[in-house]
Structure 1
Amino acid sequence: MIKISKQILKSPYKFRETLIDFIKIQIENIQNTHNIRFNFEELSDLLLSACRSNDFNILFSERRKLFINEDKISEWVYRKLLPNTMVLKIDDEDILRLLIFCIEITYQMFSGGTRATITAKAFRERRRTFESILVDQFVGKLGEVMLKKFLEQNFPGVKIELDWRISIQLERHKNDIINAKKKISIKSTPTLAGIWAEADMGYDYGIMVKCSVPQQPILQFFIEVCGFKRLINFVEGRIPTYDTLFRDYLKNIKNRICNFKCEEIQTELKGFICGYFKTSEYEPIEVGEELPYMGKIRERRYLVRIDQLKYEKTLWKNFLQDIGLISEQF
């Protein structure tokens, strides 16, 4: 068992320091047994979320002190984390669709082709850049792609249709699975340590997907298909040889991408399908309420802790039956 405190659980940095050796061992074991490569930050944040929500009863108290049960963590890893983790390379057909969709919708947002806002939601006066919106769109919809792959892989014959249309009007209660008979909200988050799944009012189901992407996901596409290398070569041909400062900059950039060969795709994107909840089984959280590790709620909606989500294969089958995508005889 590992001694821990509530203060450590509040700090991802302190949590990593406390469990550094244990996390490294878990990373090695996962790679050896399942050939899934988690980096240290990814796995530590996912473990932190499991501890914060006390998923699988990972935490226990003894003599007024708090401890982590290592056996329960292993159980969580092998029963929940790994079976519900999807790994896709950036040349996957649906990932490429996602890239093109995000580029097009971002162009339309700037040209006025859609009423989606180009200002930050929390700070309406702050105008976002094209690049920041593009990345936000990519990460925001990546969870939908991960869920589609997960369900189609686990239930052969099931077809999940995502909504790739770009509407001029902003739609309320837009169904994220367009061939479903119920309203589905799929929320994608890059915050791996988060513990709250959410759905807006008006939806029948909420699904949470945590996504891990490289720091510069869009740039990575261009690096691995040689678009970035061509740009560097073009610039190199225009910068005089006596401009040593910028020649050094170019050399540094080329060294950073030297391990990437043209069209040899290396970058992987990970999605952890946390699970789903049925909104009719919960009461919405009211504005002004405060939740642990989230703070004050600013919009009335459904919020469910991740340890309460349904994630097992038999329960996903029930979900697919309820939304009309498989029959009871499946």
Structure 2
Amino acid sequence: MDKRQIGSLSVSPIGLGCMSMSHGYGPSDEKTSIQLLNEALDVGYDFLDTATMYGGGKNEELLAKALKTRRHEYVLASKCALFSKDGKPTIDGRPETIKAQCEASLQRLNTDVIDLYYLHRLDPKVPIEESVGALSQLVSEGKIREIGLSEVSADSLRRASVIHPIAAVQSEYSLWTRLPELKMLAACEALGSTFVPFSPLGRQFFTGKAQEADQLTQGDIRTSNARPRFEADAFAYNRKLLEPLREVAQEFNCSLAQLALAWIIALPNRAGKQTLVPIPGTKHIEYMRENIAAANVHLPLEVAEYVSGLIDDDKVVGARYNEAQMKVMDSERDRD
């Protein structure tokens, strides 16, 4: 399997988002998650993504428990600054908070170093230079190897890069969420930052197995902050957009999910290189295996461009987040 670079780190072209095993998508089973994580390494994943926020640290503990003898086999990414306080998401990007959260994550992960450590969300009360300055100190101390940013604007990335090289930017990107195409993908290319798409399957939408919000279990983020596209009327409309994608998937003898992932990893930058590293998340072993197999689906550029035109933000009904959630995002909000 070809590797892709995130700063000094070499990773599989598709990583594994671990959030859903502890957070955001209803109940999960620890025994199954431990089996999934081990089988993921066996079938080719070597880039695992977690965060302080996921399950209030429980997700980090899960990785440490499941893979305690296999730490050398994967690149570990975690995140700071976003956490739950009194049951509510809280953003604190002060240097002292970042350093304290890093120490706590190192303990939960049972590791001496985190390979890639993201600022999970930009704190509007703290200049990004201060937050990245704290991360830079953690690099100097050998506690983290590379610095990442999540859901930031291209301007914030440029400001951060003055303080320290930013190895990765993680933001939502999929066939129906194309916001990074406005400015971020070009900014990452110019600054040497790898773009890491999360929710590349549109929160299960591009598997063809998703349900509308009212049919989902309590605790699923698609019933709350990510609800707009899963509301009954919006969902009924959006599902129709999958039909031409099914035809392409059938032509390439792959699943809808594999097509959506193959589209991302096939996209070239302006230099003609394929650099994106999507991190689809799942708590189901069969889906984990299905997703990594997308690396074997090779879409010609003309097919990727055709797929790009079948669905995008302008064709979809509903925003990716509700209004309250969008207010805490630093990423570009307008299609200008």
Q: TM-score range by the shorter chain?
A: under 0.3
Q: TM-score, normalised by structure 2?
A: 0.22
